[in-house]
Amino acid sequence: MMRVLRLDTPLDAHTFDSRVGAAAGVALQVHPVHGDEARTWAAFHEAHVYHIASARDDLPAHWLAGQALLERSPQLLAVSAYGAGYDTVDVAACTAAGVCVMNQAGSNAAAVAEHTIGLLLGLSKRIAESDRRLRRGERFTRQQAMGSDLQGAVLGLVGIGHAGTRVAALGRALGMRVLATDPYLSPEEITHRGAQSVTLQQLLQDANVISLHCPLTPETEGLLGRSAFAAMKPGALFITTARGGIHDEVALYDALVSGHLAGAGLDVWAVEPPPADHPLLRLDQVLATTHTAGVSAGARRQMAAMSADQILAFARGERPARLVNPQVWPAFIARYERVMGQPFAGAGALHGN
């Protein structure tokens, strides 16, 4: 019996629970985020799979999949992140312990891409700015609210995975030239995904719009700071639907207030939701949402279905299709055999991710 545990964080519970709960050989437990912690810790002690929220601010720190939780979960075999992001998971600690980490990459890519283009159009046409000024009773000329055209502009993507590839296609449909930088992809693959491969420095210098689509990792944390914003074109737009912490919010504020950057579309924040008195929220040239790009109704159903199906495949002895830490495989096989007392059916699947 494969024991799956999740906390009652926001997700499409009906889709996930109906699929996992009805499967033979799988037992699903749902525990409250805030409730009888002793009972929940007892369930972690027996759990084989932990299905975890992808947004850190959905969970108290002690429910994050890190070293402390792993030490109290001796039978844990896999951590399943609800979405494409997995910054609620200490991947290095899981790998060292022999625990698989799987995500749902691509499940909400269409929703994220559409949201990104919504922010892009809102900024370039100054829609939200005009709306705010009108509601405040300001009187201004059309010239003073004039936006910019996207036709012929350069769109720079930092990361061109599932969502970034879709943004590239939508950008080209708007007549934009698309550049991308992604250290995990060859220049040929970036070209195949619809963008010209460039270095990060070239992208900063050449793009009229820069949009982030990379995960938050030790390598990307603080990637765009004061020097990066200074290297961007005067009047450029900055958009992120990735993760808070990849860009420096103070440096971005200074770049906007100085007039060096014309606007920013922000869906992710260092603290979510951002406090009402956050300096960036005072600026009319900032279009703000609160980590909603990937949580449309359709995307939530897709994420729930994909994660349920991947967990059930894992329970049947299949290697996860979206394994974040493929290097864990030998250690995972040893852990599985110790915990379950039998060989893992997919033990020979050493390649692919």
What is the reported pLDDT for 328? 97
- Report the CATH number that the domain containing residue 50 is assigned in CATH: 3.40.50.720
In a domain, 175, yes or no: yes
243 included as an active-site residue: yes
**Annotated catalytic residue: which of 243, 247, 278, 300?**
243
| 138 and 72 fall within a common domain | no
Peptide bond preceding 273 in cis form (omega within 30 of 0): yes
- Residue keyed to tokens 């969502």: 163
Q: Does residue 187 form part of some domain?
A: yes
55-67 confidence digits (pLDDT tens): 777 889 999 999 9
Strands 261-266 and 236-240 come out as parallel
Centre a 10 Å sphere on the Cβ of residue 183 and count the other Cβ atoms it contains. 9
Helices (H), 98-216: 109-124, 127-135, 162-173, 187-192, 200-206
**Same domain for 208 and 98?**
no
- Catalytic residue, candidates 6, 19, 31, 291: 291
Question: Are 233 and 161 members of one domain?
Answer: yes
86, burial (CB in 10 Å: exposed 0-12, middle 13-18, buried 19+): buried
Supply the pLDDT for residue 347. 66
Number of domains present in the structure of the chain: 2
**pLDDT-based confidence at residue 345 (cuts at 50, 70, 90):** confident
Known catalytic membership, residue 272: yes
Residue 349 falls inside a structural domain = no
Is residue 134 domain-shared with residue 53, that is, in the same domain? no
Structure tokens at 171: 């950008």
**pLDDT score at 352:** 40
Q: Are the C-beta atoms of 81 and 304 separated by less than 8 Å? A: no
Residue 85 has pLDDT above 90, yes or no: no
Q: pLDDT tens, 226-284? A: 999 999 999 999 999 999 999 999 999 999 999 999 999 999 999 989 999 999 999 99
Shared-domain flag, residues 267 and 186:
yes
Q: What is the pLDDT of residue 346?
A: 73
Would 201 be classed as within a structural domain? yes
Please report which confidence band the pLDDT of residue 348 belongs to, taking 50, 70 and 90 as the band edges: low
Supply the mean pLDDT for the chain: 94
Q: Is residue 347 part of a domain?
A: no
Does 162 share its domain with 53? no
For 344, list phi and psi in degrees, rounded to 5. Answer: -80, 130
Residues 198 and 315 both lie in one domain? no
Which amino acid is it at 179? Answer: L
Distance CA 133, CA 125 (A): 14
* Residue numbers of the domain that contains 115: 109-288
Measure the CA–CA gap between 182 and 161, rounded to whole angstroms.
9
pLDDT at res. 93: 98
For residue 92, is pLDDT > 70?
yes
Question: Considering 272, 301, 316, 318, which one is annotated as catalytic?
Answer: 272
CA distance 132 to 47: 50
What are 145-204's pLDDT values in tens digits? Answer: 989 999 999 999 999 999 999 999 999 999 999 999 999 999 999 999 999 999 999 999
Taking alpha carbons only, the member of 117, 57, 52, 88 closest to residue 274 is 57
